[in-house]
Structure 1
Amino acid sequence: MSNDVQQEVKNLVKKHKITNPFELAQRMNINVWFLDLPDGVRGYYYRVLNRRYIAINKNYPYEIQRFVCAHELGHDRLHPGMGYYFIEDNTLFNPGKLERQANHFAVMLLTHNAEMIEGETIEQFYARHGIPKEIIGKI
């Protein structure tokens, strides 16, 4: 699946020529809502009658919202027709297969064509690209 994730990101970036998940969602006609969600719920993706939605917790910092949007785009591209809640307790700290795939998609999208700087740690690389440190070792 790793190659499938990488290829999906590559195809998406090639088609739209951007990596910003908010702009990608807009171009893909996915409605992005910023809502006051319960604590621990960063966001979720769902589809109703061929309309697609990403809800993002408006109480989180921009970098987390950006990662959540990229993660939910991963569900849209990799798991069509399914909706998954991106709940902190069940994804970042104990991810299942589909959540790991969506996290991998988000990391690949947000680091597309980026290279590590000599001497840079994975923690520094992720921080430079706005990827939560909790993702390290979870994809």
Structure 2
Amino acid sequence: MDIEQQVKKIVKKHKTICPFELTDYLNIHVRYYDLPANVFGLYKRVNKQSFIVLNQDHSYTIQRFTCAHELGHHFLHRALGYFFIEEHTLFHPGKFEREANRFAERLLTYRAEMIEGETIEQFYARHGIPKEIIGKI
């Protein structure tokens, strides 16, 4: 199933595009920690429990996008851990990060349309997607 179909299925089932509401529905625990500034968040599964850790010092907009990104890992890469990929495979984690970015972008812009004359930067800003994501999807 491709990312757009996955997002459509999730939104249809849970009737929301809000990543924080989705974590509640899916019983994924969200925690906020003092992380290094360059660490936005992470997804971890421990004993069949899923956790998303977000950087407490980032803005709500960044936390919301990061939560959606980490949900992408939950749905797309649940069995794969970043550190496992980095240490034990020949895969470059960038592929999985781009897929999680695409999942977040598709979720946060689900059924949204660009306004005539609107740039992609304006469209993303209107939907809480950081401009730094452009080119990383």
TM-score by length of structure 2 reads: 0.90
Give the C-alpha shift of residue 38 in structure 1.
Answer: 1.5
Q: CA RMSD in A?
A: 1.3
Quick one: distance in 2 between partners of 1:73 and 1:82?
Answer: 13
Q: What is the aligned partner in structure 2 of residue 61 from structure 1?
A: 59
What are the ranges of 5 or more consecutive residues in structure 2 without an aligned counterpart? 84-92
Match of 1:18 in 2: 16
User: Would you say 1:71 and 2:107 are equivalent positions?
Assistant: no
Distance 2:54 2:12 in 1: 26
Q: Which runs of 4+ in 1 moved over 2 A?
A: 81-85
In structure 2, what is the equivalent of residue 48 of structure 1? 46
Structure 2 residue matching 1:64: 3-state secondary structure:
helix
Give, in angstroms, the shift of residue 82 of structure 1. Answer: 2.6
Tell me the secondary structure at the aligned position of residue 2 of structure 2: helix
Count residues in correspondence: 128
CA deviation profile, 1:18-63 (whole Å, cap 9, x unmatched):
0000010110010000111122111000001100000000100000
Percent identity, aligned pairs only, is 62
Q: Contact between 1:46 and 1:82, CA under 8 Å: does it hold in 2?
A: no
Question: Which has more helix, going by share of residues?
Answer: 2
Correspondent of 1:38 among 36, 41, 50: 36
Name the structure 2 match of 1:131. Answer: 129
Larger deviation: 5-14 or 34-43?
34-43
Larger radius of gyration between Structure 1 and Structure 2: 2
Distance in 2 (CA, whole Å) between partners of 1:15 and 1:130 is 23
